[in-house]
Structures are given as C-alpha cells and as structure tokens.
Structure 1
Amino acid sequence: MQSLVPDGKTLETRIIPPEGYERVHVNEGSFGEYLRNYSLLPDDIKIPAYDGTTISSTDVAAVFDISLGTDGYQQCADSIIRLYSDYFYEKGEFDKISFLFSNGDECSYNNWRKGMRMLVFADYSFEIPFGLPDNSEQQYRNYLKQVMRYAGTLSLQKESNVISVDELSIGDIICDDRHVVMIVDEAINEKGEKCYLIGQSFIPSVCFHILTHTEGTVTSPWYTQEQLEKDNFVIGSFPFAKSDIRRWKDGFQ
C-alpha cells in the first residue's frame, strides 16, 4: 500500500495522500490538527480489544493509540464521542463537552464537574445533585463512561444534520441506525477533487482505526469524493446511503 509509511508515528506521518493530492489546510489548534497528530500503534499491529485480546483485519491502515477501559462501552459511536470530547477537554473548552443519551436527554460535563449526575431508569433519565465539585481527570473519565453507556448511533443522529458530499470535512460522520464512521482527514488535487481518510470502532469495543478499501486492483485508505457521491456505498463492511452523511452540531473548523 503506497500510501503507508511504516515508521510514521502519527496519522500525518503514517498515511500520505495519493499522488497529485495534498492534505487540506487545517488551522492551528483545530480538530483536524488534533487528529493528524494523534499517536498511532506500530504498523501491522492487530486491533486491540477492550478485553485484552486482538482482532485481525485486512481492511485496517492504522490504529490509534487510544485507551479502551475494561467495560466494553467504547464501541462505534462511543469512540467518536471520545475523540470529540477529548479534543475539547484538552483545549479546556468544557462547555462544549455535552452529549445526548439515546433517549434524547442531555448529559453535560460542565454540570457533571459541578457535582450533578444523571440517573437512568429504562428510557427515562434525570439530573440530580450528587456531590461536591470535582475537576479531576478521573471524574472526566467517569463522565465519559456514563455517556458511552447511554449514547449511541441514535443519539449522534439526533444531534447532527444531513449535509451534502460537497460539504464533507474533517470531523463529519456517516451514520445510520446500526453504525457510524468519521471523516478523519482530507486531501485535494489541483482539479478540486477530494479524498478522505475514514475511521471507526465497532462491537466488541476496539481501538479506533483507519479503514482501507479495495477498488479493482487498488487498495487504499483514501476514499474518493466520487465514491461517497453514490446513492449507496460501503465503508468497511457496512452499507450506507448518501443521506447518512451528517455533521455533528456545528462541526469543526
């Protein structure tokens, strides 16, 4: 696979754009820069799962060096929520760390760190005062664990809007009721044609990873705009429709 540089330690240095393409500009401190600088596990490693096992796959270009925990909650939607949330957490933008549960109720980290907690009974949830304010990283991880437990593809759909392929950019998702993947990087050529890196996790909980695809005799981690413009297409082993292309909240600049 010519796009891969085995010694690359980050997404930007491991996966290079196809010939004639260059990565799009991203601003300093942006989500795009955050993902491009994300540390990767060594090349050719199997995908680590939450229970200490590994999973072999022929359609993986790179694996993020991301913790999983031992509860098995960090599945497809949860891994994307984790990346969104960690980005804002590292920037100190705590007011932006807020996600819906699948029942439509909001769970805010700002409220959580002030001592509020969400109690959940079947499809119902409500917020109550529970303890003293706590800004520790452990409480942040506890917050994420609860969000991962009660959020999913349905909640990501509720807090995102359908966009056109022409609008697609880093941080956008392709999401239906069963599965969700995320646009992780973007490149463009002189004709204005674009291509994208796409990442996912799945069930069981595994490390977020970049997918490859095979078209004819060519295997590549870069999905072209032309492929995603079709009414129906496949990412990994999951079929999607063009109407599944979505932007979470206001997206990322």
Structure 2
Amino acid sequence: MDKREHWLNETLAELADCLDADADERDIAGTVTGALAALLAPADVGLRFFGDEGAAAPAPAASSSPRVAGLFDLETETGEGPTLWSFRGGLAAVDERLTELAGRWPRFAPAARERGYARVTAIPLQGPGGRLGAAGVLAPSGAPTGEAELRCARTVLRVTAGDVLRRRELDASHRVTSQLQQALDSRVVIEQAKGVLSARLGVSPAAAFERLRGYARRHGLPLAEAAGAAVDGALPVSALVTERRPG
C-alpha cells in the first residue's frame, strides 16, 4: 500500500467517524481540509459548503492556514475566486497560473500572488443530490499537483458531498415530519378544548371554538396554547363567558 492509498483509507475512515459522531458541517469541513492539506502540501486548502445550489453566501467553511483564510474572506467580500467560481459553474481548474487569471478574478488573483501563491486548483463538491460547495487549493511555485493526488482528493470530496447532502435531506425530512406532528397535535388539542368548553359553557362546539379563538386573539396567544390551557383547566370559564361569536 503506497502513501496515497494509505492517506485515502485513513481519511475516509476519519470522515466516517465524523458522520457516525453526528459532527456538524463545520467539523466535517475542518476534517476534510486538514486531510487535503496533508496530501497536497506545501499547498494550502480552503473548503466551502453552501446552503443551497446557487446561494450567494457560504455556509460552513474551513482553511488550512491563516494566510489562505484571509484570501477566502476576500473571495466572500468580492464575490470572485476559485471556490465561488467552481461552485457556481460546477467547474474544475487544475494548476492554473495566477498570472493568467487576472481577467477572471481581478482582485483575488493579485491578492493571492502577493501572499506568495503561484497556482490554483478548484474542485467542486458534487454528489447525486447536487452541488454542495467547492475546494480551493493554492500552491507556491514548484512542481504541479500530481494526478494521483488529485484523484485521491476528488474521491474524498465526492464522498463528502454525497454524505453531507444525504444528511441534509434526512434533516429536512425530519423537520417536515416534526412540523406535521406539531400541526396534528395542535388540531387534536383544539378539538379537545372545543368539547371541554362546550360542556362547561353550555354552548355548541362551534360557539365554544369562536370564544376560544377570540380569547386567543385578544391576549396574543397561539390558538393551540389557549386550547391546551382550556383542556388543562388553567383557563377559567369566566375568562370566556364574555367572549361572543361575531355578528
């Protein structure tokens, strides 16, 4: 097993541990960035996740050094640079010379050169569910990035994108399920309150509901909260006897 294969196995295992531990996206980005920086040294690495495809603002991001972190802050401020370019278009760039990119990134490219970088690589994070973000690799002058290292990096980024996108889909599904359950619970307690108040007030369930709704509006309460108080006995009947059905 050569060192690249060992790196790939170790990185995928570490990524799996992050996911099993329910690490947040910022922790995952940090793990992947650190691993890529070790693989591609002496290059520096920045990684960005975005909220939705085409979103203007980045979600969690990580950088391998303060020097490159400042450049990716500049990328956010100016709206130009390798990770934004790669994410928006789903495009990759490999070892492009910064001296030739002033037309594409008129502010980012000179700033990167001032910090001692000579070449840039950008790789989109893309999985079956769409694009998640992009990685930017900034390297000083020297030998270009090896093809074997690039294959390893792409593999890790592809796995990362797929796992994070699946997690987002699962989280979204859980949120929808929770919202539906809350709506059902609210409907149940409102129906219970209508029955309880109908019996206590000696009015029809419809009339009881109108009085409950009027009370909730007058006191700035969610209807379900007022209904729960009625069911629990925390809402005295006397608070409702003056409520009248509209017209």
TM-score by length of 2: 0.25
Rg larger in structure? 2
Relative contact order higher in (CA < 8 Å, ≥ 6 apart): 1
Greater helix share, structure number:
2
TM-score by length of 1: 0.25
Greater strand share, structure number:
1
